[in-house]
Amino acid sequence: MNTSKRYERIAFVASPSVEAQAALVQLTDEYGNCDPQAADVIVALGGDGLMLQTLHEHMRTGKPIYGMHRGTVGFLMNEFSQHDLRTRLDAAQESVIHPLLMRATDVDGTVHIHHAINEVALFRQSAQAARLRILIDERERMPELIADGVLVATPAGSTAYNLSVQGPILPINAALLALTPISAFRPRRWRGALLPNTAYVIIEVLEGEKRPVAAVADHDEVRDVRRVEVLSDKTISMRMLFDPGHSLEERILREQFGY
């Protein structure tokens, strides 16, 4: 038995699935279940959806989060095992990620502020394609993008929705953001841009009454936006733990080679 006190107090959280709830019972019986506020580490049992939820809930605490796969999609999770958990936690490698900050102004002038770990995305709300103007660091870079939408993705989120719309995969430690169009109509051949993670991205909605647009920061949605500002929030650092050889950096690298 590992005698290290580094992760003595463990808090478990689990998705509602039968598989995750059964794992919660097993692990609680063996290791106890500390209150998250007093815990040294938080162990999330489920899929990537639960991991994102847990990261959001504990975004400002600085507590390390270790996921074990008891859900559907497990890109952000480690393999499940109830044995020698503290030994695994002590051997785990840490990846530090920063969220995006979205500041969305709606048609009434109300400002909505949300954080995103994966991406901030703008989508058309109707059958009409969105018309968008893009500025980087307050300089106009694209006067008009006609598309289903556009997204800004972090390296951690580059293998999620960004990848499904043909965006680039970014190494986890890359000081970059991906700006990727969603079904671009004009300019038809534009495939997006790689931006420094210091970039201040502004997306303005043109003809918003005729072509309404929604903005989504991970799971937080704002309807009928007129202006969306996005930047990497370096004031928040989230610590994710991965088993040796299965770090987030390694997973993203493997994804680029198709396995």
154-175, pLDDT tens digit by residue? 998 998 899 999 999 888 778 9
**CA torsion through residues 42, 46, 49, 50, sign:** negative
The greatest distance separating any two alpha carbons of the chain, rounded to the nearest whole angstrom, comes to: 65
Q: How many CB atoms lie within 10 A of CB 50?
A: 22
Q: Give the pLDDT of residue 50.
A: 93
Q: Residue 198 and residue 137: Cα distance in Å, rounded?
A: 9
How many distinct helices (H) and strands (E) make up the chain?
Answer: 5, 16
Beta bridge partners of 150: 122, 181
Contact 169, 258 (CB under 8 A): no
Residue 3: per-residue pLDDT:
44
5 pLDDT above the threshold of 70: no
The pLDDT, as a whole number, for residue 259 is 55
More confident residue, 73 or 91: 91
Mean pLDDT of 146-160: 94
**103 to 16, 113, 171, 201: CA distances (angstroms):** 31, 5, 26, 10
First to last CA, the chain: 35
Task: State the pLDDT at residue 256.
Answer: 72
DSSP string over 182-223: EEEEESTT---EEEETT--EEEEEESTTTS-EEEEETTEEE-
Tokens of 97: 């990620």
- pLDDT computed for residue 139 by the predictor: 97
pLDDT score for 1: 40
Tens digit of pLDDT for each residue in 17-58? 999 999 999 999 999 999 999 999 999 999 988 999 999 999
Q: Where are the domains of the chain?
A: 10-97+236-256, 100-232
pLDDT band of residue 258 (cuts 50, 70, 90) is low
CATH dotted code for 10-97+236-256: 3.40.50.10330
Position 78 confidence tier, pLDDT thresholds 50, 70, 90: very high
* Global pTM value: 0.86
Whole-angstrom CA distances from 175 to 60, 160, 223, 240 are 21, 18, 30, 18
pLDDT at site 249: 74
Indicate whether 116 pLDDT > 70.
Answer: yes
Mean pLDDT of the chain: 92
Which residue of the set 48, 106, 218, 220 is catalytic?
48
Residue 48 known to be catalytic: yes
Q: Which pLDDT belongs to residue 162?
A: 94
Q: Rounded to whole angstroms, what are the CA distances from 56 to 43, 135, 236? A: 14, 28, 11
Alpha carbons 9 and 7: distance in angstroms, whole number: 6
State what percent of residues in the chain have pLDDT above 70: 97
- What gap in Å lies between CA 126 and CA 175, rounded to an integer? 35
Q: Report residue 102's pLDDT band, with 50, 70 and 90 as the boundaries.
A: very high
Residues 6+ apart with CB under 8 A from 22: none
> What integer pLDDT is reported at residue 172 of this predicted model?
77
Q: What topology does CATH give the domain 100-232?
A: Tumour Suppressor Smad4 (2.60.200)
